[in-house]
Amino acid sequence: MRARIRKLATIVDETHVEMGRDVSPPTRRAAAVAVIANPFAGRYEGDLEELMAIGEELGDLLGRRAVAALGIAPGQAESYGKAAIVGEGGELEHAAAILHPRLGKPLRAAVEKGAALVPSAKKMGGPGAPIDVPLGHKDAAYVRSHFDAMEVRLGDSPRAGEILVAVVVTDSGRPSPRIGGLTTDQVEGKDGLR
């Protein structure tokens, strides 16, 4: 691995009851998180290739770990999202270099298909900072029942010279969707939107 990983974490949240009503089967979201050393902490570096390569590695590692945490076959994944928090020794662009150029392809392989844009968020932050990872349906971004987010945080990360990277995969939408819009059974899955 090119990434120097200090820790990996997996968080699975299962919602069994929402507003007093049973949710059956429960909706499930899994976050796979890596805390890595930021090779460019403390200085301005023009060429961010190393972080792009790390992004490719983490798309594979975290995508597979999230799917495994749900105990599903890759094709059963329904929505996804990604995010990064850069410790204070780095800059926002370091998150962009990990998330955008190369992380998506191996993540899509881990969930089978994935015609839609992978929604993302990024920020600077210290240990314990939370990040809301936006979620959208993996094949059709306009599926309204799958617009969601998962808050992720680790108490000790990221330190100044670290980056926290999170990938979230679900096998379901929101627990109680009833605001209309495009539904999963209407998805064509060709253009990534509908």
Residues found near another protein in the complex (CB under 8 A): 18-21, 44, 46, 48, 52, 83, 91-93, 96-97, 99-101, 117, 119-123, 130-134, 141-142, 144, 147-149, 151, 174-181, 191-193
Nearer to another protein, 44 or 155 (CB): 44
CA distance 177 to 171: 15
- Tell me if residue 95 falls in helix, strand or coil: helix
Min. distance of Cβ 103 from another protein in angstroms? Answer: 11
Residue with tokens 């969707």: 177
Q: How far is the CB of 96 from another protein (least distance, A)?
A: 5
Q: How far is the CB of 1 from another protein (least distance, A)?
A: 21
Distance CA 128, CA 137 (A): 28
Q: How many angstroms separate the CA atoms of 170 and 183, rounded? A: 16
* Cβ proximity to another protein, 64 vs 107, nearer residue: 107
Residue nearer to another protein on the CB measure, 9 or 149? 149
Rounded CA-CA distance 31/81 in Å is 9
Nearer to another protein, 64 or 157 (CB): 157
d(CA 122, CA 133): 9
Axis crossing angle, helix 49-70 with helix 92-99, rounded to the nearest 10? 60
CB of 134 to another protein, least distance (A): 4
